[in-house]
Amino acid sequence: MSRILALDYGEKRIGIAVTDELKIIASGLTTVKTIDIFNFLDQYLANEKVELILVGEPKQMNNTPSESEKLIAPFIEKLRGKYLKIPVKRVDERFTSKMAFQTMIDGGLKKKQRKNKALIDEISATIILQSYLYNN
């Protein structure tokens, strides 16, 4: 049994979500500093079987890549080069940050807790993963 991992790439932090082994439920895993992501992935992949890595694809409303794609493309190239046996797919991530923030409000988190950008990144990764599961 293996899992699917989703990454919400950011210049400072990467939100990470993962499925259960049956690939039914998407759950937030953690948020890692971008500089530490490959150390985290090395350790995680040594202990867990992952069959697919999803990376959010930020697009503008007219479907063109957003400015942050310039930062994500080299990251994905390195990801694919380092973990050759695990396919990497992109998932449209438009509105995930807004949806994550709304999820925090709906969940009753206080204003101070909603300012936690790391939590927003983790929830965004979960939304990316859940949308993939729903559409596949």
Q: Are 52 and 19 in contact (CB under 8 A)?
A: no
pTM: 0.85
pLDDT in tens, 55-68: 998 876 676 666 77
Burial of 122 (0-12, 13-18, 19+ CB in 10 A): buried
What percent of the chain has a predicted confidence (pLDDT) above 70? 78
- For residue 43, what pLDDT is reported? 98
Nearest to 69 by CA among 50, 90, 88, 51: 90
49-106 per-position pLDDT tens digit: 999 999 998 876 676 666 778 889 999 999 999 999 999 999 887 656 666 666 656 6
Phi, psi of 33, rounded to the nearest 5 degrees? -60, 140
